[in-house]
């Protein structure tokens, strides 16, 4: 998981979100209302509304796929596989964002497992 991921606020513009994705070379941004998770914007969705840079992320966000901070890796991977998610936002009991786990994080875990097995 990537702890304390970059995020945007509901009233941030699509332009701000696209710039943040590009500068940080990431593909998913949790959308917050204050410190509470309310959705997620992903790069491919922002590309579809690229001509509407003044639009807020709240207008184009999707519901956030979330998982509890205490969930096992197996649970996270099962959820991602069964629901065809490419990222989940990891939240604490308070609902605050603790991190994000993406398909690339799963690849890194697999790579580490394979390296350990080969050693």
pTM for the model stands at 0.88
Here the tokens at position 24 are 């940080």
Locate the domains of the chain by residue range.
2-118
What is the rounded CA–CA span in Å between residue 50 and residue 35? 26
**DSSP bridge partners of 42:** 28
Q: Which residue has the higher pLDDT, 115 or 49?
A: 115
Kindly report, residue by residue over 33-81, the tens digit of the pLDDT. Answer: 998 999 999 998 888 887 776 789 999 999 999 999 999 999 999 999 9
Residues in the chain: 119
What is the rounded CA–CA span in Å between residue 83 and residue 72? 17
Range 2-118: architecture per CATH = Roll (3.10)
């Amino acid at each position: 998981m990537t702890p304390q991921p970059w995020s945007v606020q509901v009233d941030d513009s699509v332009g701000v979100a696209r710039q943040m994705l590009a500068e940080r070379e990431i593909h998913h941004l949790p959308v917050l209302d204050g410190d509470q998770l309310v959705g997620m914007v992903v790069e491919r969705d922002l590309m579809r509304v690229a001509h509407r840079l003044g639009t807020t992320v709240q207008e184009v966000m999707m519901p956030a796929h979330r998982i509890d901070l205490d969930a096992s890796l197996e649970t996270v991977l099962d959820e991602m596989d069964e629901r065809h998610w490419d990222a989940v936002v990891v939240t604490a009991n308070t609902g605050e964002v603790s991190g994000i786990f993406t398909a690339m994080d799963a690849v890194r875990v697999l790579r580490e497992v394979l390296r350990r097995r080969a050693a």
